[in-house]
Structures are given as C-alpha cells and as structure tokens.
Amino acid sequence: MNGQLTWRAGRMAALILLAALVAASCTKKVQRVGAGEVRDLSGKWNDTDSQEVAGAMIKDSLSFPWIDDYQQANGKKPVVIAYGVANRTSEHINTQTFMKDLERALLRSGRVTIVADSDQRRSIRDERADQQSGLVANPAAIGQETGADFVLTGVLNSIKDRDQGEEVVFYQANLELINVTSSEKVWIGDHKIKKFVSRSSTNY
C-alpha cells in the first residue's frame, strides 16, 4: 500500500514538474523596438527590404532624363500615379505598403507630384458628389482633378535555393515609368536583395 502511494506521489510530482516546464517554455516576452531597427527573423521580405528597395529605385528613376525633359517641355513638375506592384513571389507580401514607400520616396524628392490611385479617386468622387448634393457647405468644384502624366508600376519576384538547414532567398523588384499620353517607357529599374538563412537541425 505504501509503495503504491509512493508511486502515485512520484507520478504526481513528475506531472507537476512537466507542467511547470511546459509553462516556462511557453512564456511570451514582448519587447518594443524602434521602427527603423532591423530585425530580420525569418529571412522573408520585410519592412526594411521595402524601404531599401523603394529608396534605391526612386533615386535611380530621378537620375534618368525623363523628369528634366518633361519640366523643360511643360514648365511644371510631372504628375505620377502609382498603379501597383504585382507580387509573383512565393510569399504573402503586402505590396500596398511597398507602393506607399515608393510614393513617399518620390514625394520626398520634391521633383514630382503624386495623385491618388483609382480606388482613392472613386472614394473622393463619391465624397465630391455628396458635397454637390448640398450635404456639405462650400463644396469642392467638379472636374478639377489633376490628371497623371506618368504611371508607376512593376513586379516583385523571388527565387529560393534550399539545402538541408541552409537557404538563399533572392528578391528582385522591377519597376517601370510609363508616359500616359505616348505609352513610352521612360524608365525601367530593378533592385536585388539576397539573403542567406541558416537554421539549426533541431528547428528545421
């Protein structure tokens, strides 16, 4: 009888210890970091990649003659609309965030004007219609939208090479600026990012 009680007590102690170890391993710790701090955890496309590519490609686009040619011919800054970037990688990537990084980099240059995309324009037109119906005082005038001179569009691709616990991920962003009137491509740019990811055998 005493032996059975001792066995049960030992088993209970072991279960309690196991539960404590599981609880300790599941403890979650959250640490705030700066928005500009690089934390490349998985090797996948992240916010740092988006900002790096956007900054480099917009800098390259502004070094091409299209912008000076337009200003000399028209006496004003060119108007650009961002149509979007197609995600052809194997990952789920928020390309809208990437486009916003591109728009911000263009605006920061001070050399172009950015207009709202198609979805934003529809919402603005609905708001303008409400104003014209008399629901809002001092309504905005109809027919004063700024038309785009150039369209910014592109595609994001990736290639992965994996062997056991090691992986190389290669990203390539391709962007184009197209003249809305003539359909001429006035700039074609690309930017590449290559990452090496090493995983321990216990986690792979």
150 Cβ contact list (under 8 Å, min separation 6):
66, 78, 79, 80, 81, 177, 178, 179, 180, 186
pLDDT of residue 204: 43
pLDDT of residue 164: 74
CB 193 within 8 A of CB 174: no
Joined tokens for residue 188: 């074609």
- In the chain (204 residues long), the average pLDDT of successive 10-residue segments reads 57 66 58 51 78 92 94 94 90 88 91 81 64 57 71 92 80 94 95 82 50
Q: Collapse the DSSP code of 11 into the 3-class scheme (helix H, G, I; strand E, B; otherwise coil) and give the result.
A: helix
pLDDT of residue 139: 47
CA distances from 15 to 10, 75, 127, 141 (A): 9, 79, 64, 74
Please state which architecture CATH assigns to domain 42-198: 3-Layer(aba) Sandwich (3.40)
pLDDT of residue 172: 94
**Using CA atoms, how far apart are residues 85 and 45, in angstroms rounded to an integer?**
14
pLDDT of residue 181: 92
